[in-house]
A = this chain, B = another copy of it.
Amino acid sequence: MLAIGTLSRRTGTKVQTIRYYEEIGLMNEAGRTAGGQRRYFEKDLDRLAFIRHSRQLGFSLDSIRELLDLSDNPSQSCAEADSIARRQLHQVEQRIKRLQALKKELKRMVAECDGDSVAECKVLEVLRDHAECLTEHDEIGA
């Protein structure tokens, strides 16, 4: 029987985060001691590790929920899991693209700045006037 702190240490997840995962139904409700403290089995540790690892790969909690469902039902086709992963890959690729456009723009901005007074600061000038941008960057966030 493992205490929550043990799971925390062994997966690098904050204790509050584990409780949060329980709250939103990603982790099963843990058993309790007579005094009300959570106690876990190895399988809970595995599940948490799965969640954490998926998060590290950028999957959303919703996607992870789907992946866990699939993982719990080993008889189904793998196609679903595959498509979730492909979707994630696509998203990551899109984000990289976008960030590379930003990087280019920022680099240009920084390179053109000669360190003089703010009045003629290239950085601020570019920010003031979108027309000075060479690349498109219309989405925020993404």
Contact residues of A with B, CB < 8 Å?
46, 49-50, 53-58, 67, 70-71, 73-79, 81-82, 84-86, 88-89, 92-93, 95-96, 99-100, 102-103, 105-107, 109-110, 113-124, 127-128, 130, 133, 137-140
Contacts and interface: CB of A to CB of B under 8 A. Distances in A.
Kindly list the 10 A-B residue pairs having the minimum CB-CB distance in the complex, ordered from nearest.
Answer: A78-B121, A74-B119, A89-B106, A81-B123, A85-B123, A74-B118, A82-B113, A96-B99, A92-B103, A56-B137
Contacts of A139: 56
B127 A110 contact: no
Contact of A49 (B77, B119, B130): B130
13 contacts: A55-B140, A56-B139, A57-B127, A67-B123, A67-B124, A74-B117, A75-B117, A78-B113, A81-B113, A81-B124, A89-B103, A96-B103, A99-B99
A100 B96 contact: yes
Nearest to A84: B123
Contact of A86 (B54, B81, B110): B110
A82 B50 contact: no
B78 A118 contact: yes
Given A78-B115, A85-B123, A96-B99, 14 more contacts: A53-B133, A56-B137, A57-B102, A71-B124, A74-B119, A75-B118, A77-B116, A78-B114, A82-B110, A82-B115, A85-B106, A85-B109, A93-B103, A96-B103
